[in-house]
Amino acid sequence: GAAGAELGGPAGSFVAALIGVELGKLVSGETKIDIILTPLVTIITGFSTAALIGPGIEAMMTGLGRLIMWGTDQSPLIMGMLVATIVGLALSSPISSAALALMLDLSGLAAGAATIGCCAQMVGFAAAGFRENRFGGLAAVGIGTSKLQLPNIVKNPLILIPPTIAGLILAPIGIIGFGMVNNAAGAGMGTSGLVGQLMTLTVMGFHPSVFLAIALLHIVGPAVISLVVSEWMRKKGYIQFGDLTIQTGGMKHEKN
């Protein structure tokens, strides 16, 4: 993981550690020299993965950064949609959206759009998956992280559509209609620990109008849009019951 972080940042760390551990598990318990072979395979494959794909991941992150910075120079409409989508998807992926926002030093309207995009992913997944995960999942995803849905995203990438649409719709409304801004510390956090909301209040002020905008654009809007889109996709068969179930072992629910 450390080697992956050095060569490919947080995403490189995740991939190197994941592949190293999974390959180490393949040989674990298979030989009489497990105490030597298992850690040896894990370390070698982890470092090899970091060396082989770390630079590529770093280049991808740099490219994403350039795309975001390009978006910030465009019209508010295009910028809002682009930044909200990229940073929001980063939050639901192995990439660290918080690190990305800090690395690019996002601020002002760009940070406001990024915050809405991240909130859309977290609140959107929480609302769309409420049928499967109930209140435990609502809290875990809504104020924890949408990365809990990563295994389900790999199985059915279509579940990304509802929260992403929510971010696309709400980000331009937020920055053009409400003048939503933020700083780099809150831009990539979404509703995780309510950091995005606290930073928004810090930047914009603790005024009733700001509280109302946060409620509408960070919480209510993402929940309603994502739920409506996800329910339509369920009726069409694009999302099946169980596609959004968080695999924790303690939140399994029967379909009513």
Q: Which domain holds residue 256?
A: 75-256
Q: Does 200 have pLDDT greater than 80? A: yes
Q: Are residues 245 and 121 in the same domain?
A: yes
Q: Does 253 have pLDDT greater than 70? A: no
Residue 105 to residue 97: CA distance in whole angstroms = 12
Q: Are residues 197 and 244 in the same domain?
A: yes
pLDDT of residue 162: 96
Residues 29, 43 contacting (CB under 8 angstroms): no
Higher pLDDT, 51 or 147: 147
Residues 89, 122 contacting (CB under 8 angstroms): no
**For residues 18-46, average pLDDT:** 82
Q: Are residues 42 and 58 in the same domain?
A: yes
Q: Are residues 4 and 102 in the same domain?
A: no
pLDDT of residue 248: 66
Share of the chain above pLDDT 70, in %: 93
Among 73, 94, 128, the domain boundary falls at 73
DSSP 247: -
Q: Which of 60-69, 82-91, 150-159, 236-245 has the lowest mean pLDDT?
A: 60-69
Q: Does 256 have pLDDT greater than 50? A: no
Higher pLDDT, 202 or 68: 202
**Across the chain, which distance is largest between two alpha carbons, in Å?**
67
Q: Are residues 96 and 19 in the same domain?
A: no
Q: Are residues 107 and 61 in the same domain?
A: no
What's this model's pTM, rounded to 2 decimal places?
Answer: 0.75
Q: Are residues 62 and 108 in the same domain?
A: no
Among 40, 73, 106, the domain boundary falls at 73
Residues in contact with 54: Cβ distance below 8 Å, sequence separation at least 6, in sequence order: 3, 4, 6, 7, 8, 12, 16
Q: Are residues 180 and 246 in the same domain?
A: yes
Q: Does 223 have pLDDT greater than 70? A: yes
Q: Which of 83, 117, 111 is nearest to 186 (CA)?
A: 111
What is the overall mean pLDDT for the chain?
A: 86
Q: Are residues 102 and 123 in the same domain?
A: yes
Q: Are residues 194 and 96 in the same domain?
A: yes
Q: Does 65 have pLDDT greater than 80? A: no
Q: Which of 90-94, 124-128, 158-162, 221-225 has the lowest mean pLDDT?
A: 90-94
Would you call 187 helix, strand, or coil by DSSP?
Answer: helix
**For residues 235-242, average pLDDT:** 93
Residues 152, 243 contacting (CB under 8 angstroms): yes
Q: Considering its fold, how many domains does the chain have in total? A: 2
Among 22, 43, 73, the domain boundary falls at 73
